[in-house]
Amino acid sequence: MTIIEKITEKESLCKRFLGLTPNQIEVLLARLEPHWLASEKRLLERADRVRSIGGGRKYQPGAFKTMLTTCLLYYKLYLTQEFIGIILGADQSTVSRYVSRLAGLIAVAADPELETFFQRAGGLKKQRVRNFVELQQVCPELADVITDATETPCNRPKDEVDQKKFYSGKQKTHTIKTQITINSYKRIINVSDAYPGSVHDKAVLDREETIKKIPQKARHTLDKGYCGVDKEHPASNILIPFRRNRGQQKLSPMTKATNRYLSKVRMPVEHVIGKIKNFKICAIYRGRRDRFNKVFRDVAALYNFVNFA
């Protein structure tokens, strides 16, 4: 019995090492297969291909499941590819090929609706939703949303310009920043592009045009890092905690109570970020920075798949 078979036959081990149950892996395999076949077809039919179609080593029976479980093991525990290769009896290059072939496809298969929520918001403009109550009736998935950004430590760039760009003064290390938006059901409805750690949270919000993508009547909760967004978009229903002004000694009891309430409202997004970072590859990242966003989207889609499929 192989290591993969031992892990996948016991639900507790499978959940701990791969992040999914054996049944969920089988469902994900069925969803992933057509996307995988389409990807392989594009790879074989590419214009710069030298070897004729049909040449090269053939995949062994069960290889597709091995590829998926290897990728999940890499995402969840974030062991080095050399060590995973030793565990599976394969070369590091084989593990790297498995991960690179499936990166991005997992997100499409696990949660194809991840990027469609904001498209629904565009359709709501034609329905002329007049208030929050009507929005709850028409589209409850977008009536109450929370946005926040998270930073993932990465390797120190060798280039001096990139060092300054990716250095986060808040985290005191080099990081990659990603913004997520969730709804009241704790489902991730949007994942931003990856940004250097020095980029401010509000700058990410502006570049992604998140406010414009969300219905104006939706209740949109943000933290203090987005101070001023509510004034820039007065037509939107944006909730941001109060900040003490310079020279002001303390906040009033009413504003303190409001801040406590908003902290409770936006706490689910912190829980979701924590669940994402249970996949260790999103807690600290050692790979190429231009590939991180694809990995983060895969993990976000896996979170939705586990909790909402």
**Residue 92 lies inside a defined structural domain of this protein:** yes
Q: For residue 264, what are the contacts with CB-CB under 8 A and spacing of at least 6?
A: none
pLDDT recorded at residue 248: 72
pLDDT of residue 261: 92
Predicted model pTM: 0.91
Task: Give me the pLDDT at residue 61, please.
Answer: 47
pLDDT of residue 56: 60
| Cα 57 to Cα 216: distance, rounded to the nearest angstrom | 54
What is the rounded distance in angstroms from the CA atom of residue 286 to the CA atom of residue 78?
A: 9
Would you state the pLDDT for residue 57? Answer: 60
Please, are residues 308 and 187 in contact by the beta-carbon 8 Å criterion? Answer: yes
Of 102, 134, 160, which residue constitutes the final position of a domain? 102
Number of domains the chain contains: 2
149: in domain: yes
Please give the Cα distance from 304 to 121 (Å, whole number).
20
Taken as a whole, the chain contains a residue count of 309
Quote the radius of gyration of the chain (alpha carbons, Å): 22
- In sign, the C-alpha dihedral spanning 69, 75, 78, 80 is positive
Domain match, 96 and 178 both: no
Q: Decide: helix, strand or coil at residue 123.
A: helix
Which two tokens mark 13?
A: 């081990």
Handedness of CA 263, 265, 270, 271 (dihedral sign): positive
Residue 149 and residue 207 in one domain: yes
CATH at residue 206:
3.30.420
Rounded-to-integer distance, Cα 135 and Cα 129, Å: 6
Cα 214 from Cα 287, distance rounded (Å): 33
Same domain, 30 and 82: yes
Residue 238 and residue 265 share a domain: yes
Q: Tokens for 28? A: 């994900």
Q: Positive or negative CA dihedral for 246, 248, 250, 253?
A: negative
In tens digits, the chain (309 residues) has pLDDT values of 578 888 888 899 999 999 999 999 999 999 998 888 888 778 777 777 776 666 666 555 467 888 999 999 999 999 999 999 998 888 999 999 999 999 989 999 999 888 787 777 666 665 677 788 888 888 888 889 999 999 999 999 999 999 999 999 999 999 999 999 999 999 999 999 999 999 999 999 999 999 988 888 889 999 988 988 989 999 899 999 988 877 777 888 898 899 899 999 999 999 999 999 999 999 999 999 999 999 999 999 999 999 987
Mark whether 217 and 253 lie in a shared domain.
Answer: yes
- For residue 235, count other CB atoms closer than 10 A to its CB: 8
